[in-house]
Copies of this chain bind each other. A is one copy, B any other.
Amino acid sequence: MRRVYLDHSATTPVHPRVAAVINRYMLADFGNASSIHEFGKTAQQALRWSRERVAELVGASEADEIVFTSGGTESDNLAIKGAAAARKDRGRHIITSAVEHHAVLHTCEALEEDGFQVTKVGVDEYGRVDPEEVSEAIRDDTVLISIMLANNEVGTIQPVTEIAQAAREREILVHTDAVQAVPQMPVDVEDLGVDLLSLSGHKMYGPKGVGALYIRRGTRLLSQEHGGHHEKGRRAGTENIPGIAGLGEAAATTMEELPQREKHLERLQRRLIEGLLQVEGVHLNGHRRERLPNNVSISAAAIEGESILLGLNAEGIAASSGSACTSGALEPSHVLLAMGMSHEMAHGSLRMTLGRDNSQEDIDHVLEILPPIIDRLREMSPFEIQ
């Protein structure tokens, strides 16, 4: 059976070049970067090299603006809790959006228990935040705005540059969760004007268990993990050198491959969207143009996304309903609901996220397999297409 993996926004396979680097630092150059002998020095060199590559990938002017973490979730937690703790005497109001990843939403909710107030701005039917609405939500005690760069479920790209403009005039920190954006589109912290930016290794053909947070020079954050003086006191714990070196290599690979990768993904994406929109009752979720080139999110009226998934899985095709983190949950996606979708349509959502390893044949295969599955499920459905 042909296996087709269309769940790259959940996680990606590790790039062979990245795996080779990880093996080197697991087996041969395995030292602790805090040690002062040769094994330690080699580890320090890997740490510095990776920090420079990740800085370069996001357009940071200094390598020291990058702090390595255990992944996107920790980066989001450190950015939001670290900034909130450092600025709480100035104010306790945070602005975010209704379509953020749970690593942002639940972190903001945790801060509410510490006396912070959180405004969640809504989105339009395409999942876009209105920069005007963010501007209007700013109060005298606003200390942080956290708006993702691209949505993990529907792929919609947010107008972060416009949002950051209004914020920076008023000395409010801006954080963006760029976990989904970084592997698929050019990302530059200067163009965006953000102070904090999260990224994750395993979404960009790098290792799981490692991520990074860009912290603009001069931005004060309180460390959320206590111990040794690693990462200049911003994140304690022995540096995960194999993982970090792997992330550095993934950053280098992304910079090299991105122009070609974008074109390749856009071609596949167009083909898949055009094919699917010919199926009766299928609707494209998210923005038509302002969207990641690897995201195809659809809703199919009158059937359950979960049932489509199981049908696809039986045919060797891996896709997702909404985000991976909430797979198996009974509630419909908070993102689709925020976009004004009905519970029924939201339950019928299916996310296919393409990767560098997918081919045109994969797409054609899916376009053969998927429509009959939808037809079959619809015949069994008690609902009717509205």
Contact = CB atoms under 8 A, between A and B. Distances in A.
Contact of A324 (B22, B32, B236, B324): B32
Contact of A77 (B7, B10, B102, B227): B227
A16 B239 CA distance: 21
Given A207-B242, A240-B70, A14 B30 contact: yes
Nearest to A206: B26
Contact of A71 (B208, B237, B316, B329): B237
A325 B34 contact: yes
Contacts of A102: 226-228, 236
A216 interface: no
Contact of A106 (B71, B107, B226, B241): B226
Given A102-B228, A318-B37, A237 B12 contact: no
A327 interface: yes
Nearest to A101: B227
A13 B37 contact: no
A19 B26 contact: yes
Contacts of A229: 325-326, 329
Nearest to A111: B226
A242 B73 contact: no
A319 interface: yes
A110 interface: yes
A183 interface: no
Nearest to A5: B39
B208 A243 contact: yes
Nearest to A71: B237
A202 B23 CA distance: 14
Given A39-B5, A208-B239, A225-B77, A31 B11 contact: yes
Contact of A40 (B3, B326, B327): B327
Interface residues of A, number: 75
A308 to B, nearest CB: 11
A3 B37 CA distance: 11
Given A22-B26, A40-B324, A202-B238, 14 more contacts: A5-B39, A19-B26, A34-B325, A36-B328, A37-B318, A39-B318, A71-B238, A73-B236, A106-B236, A200-B238, A207-B242, A208-B241, A227-B325, A229-B326
Closest 9 A/B residue pairs (Cβ): A209-B240, A228-B325, A70-B70, A103-B227, A73-B237, A14-B26, A106-B226, A37-B318, A11-B32
29 contacts: A10-B31, A11-B238, A13-B30, A19-B27, A26-B207, A32-B202, A34-B326, A35-B318, A35-B320, A36-B327, A37-B312, A37-B317, A37-B319, A40-B318, A40-B327, A70-B71, A73-B237, A77-B226, A77-B236, A102-B236, A103-B226, A106-B226, A106-B227, A110-B226, A207-B240, A207-B243, A209-B209, A229-B325, A238-B324
